[in-house]
Amino acid sequence: MSRAENLNRILRNLQTESPDVEACALISEDSLIIASALPQHVEELRVAGMCATLLNLGTRAARELKRGDLKQVLINGESGYVVMMTASRGTMLITMTTPNAKLGLVFLDMSTAIEEISKII
């Protein structure tokens, strides 16, 4: 199995095994989708661009506010959460969740996926 196939498998597992995760993607800091489990109506390039922008802003804010390296970005919207966590240097794992998501479980499931991803990247 190729690296891309393994990464896509990890994301599909995260999406199917975590009841609150509706979609997920692994995105590079330069706006490239590395792997994804996104619905067809979601434009990958748009998601990657927005998330890369948020990653850069979050990184800058964390450093300027002397909070250290960025670990996580959380967006709470009416239709659910967007959670971004650092997966490895230069990559972020993005998940979109249901509005009533149990964030502790989402964070745990994302951390488990990141451990698997770090063995591949």
Q: Return d(Cα 23, Cα 98) in angstroms, integer.
A: 10
69-90 average pLDDT score: 91
Tokens read off for 70: 């960025």
To the question of domain 3-120 being in CATH 3.40.50.2000, the answer is: no
Chain centre distance of CA 44: 13
First-last CA distance in the chain? 14
Position 84 confidence tier, pLDDT thresholds 50, 70, 90? very high
pLDDT at 1 over 80: no
H or E segment to which residue 27 belongs: strand 21-28
What are the sequence ranges of the domains in the chain? 3-120
pLDDT tens track for 39-48: 888 888 888 8
Which pLDDT does position 55 carry in this prediction? Answer: 85
What single letter denotes the amino acid at residue 92?
M
Query: Does residue 112 sit in helix, strand or coil?
Result: helix
pLDDT tens track for 23-75: 999 998 788 899 999 888 888 888 888 888 888 898 899 999 999 988 899 99
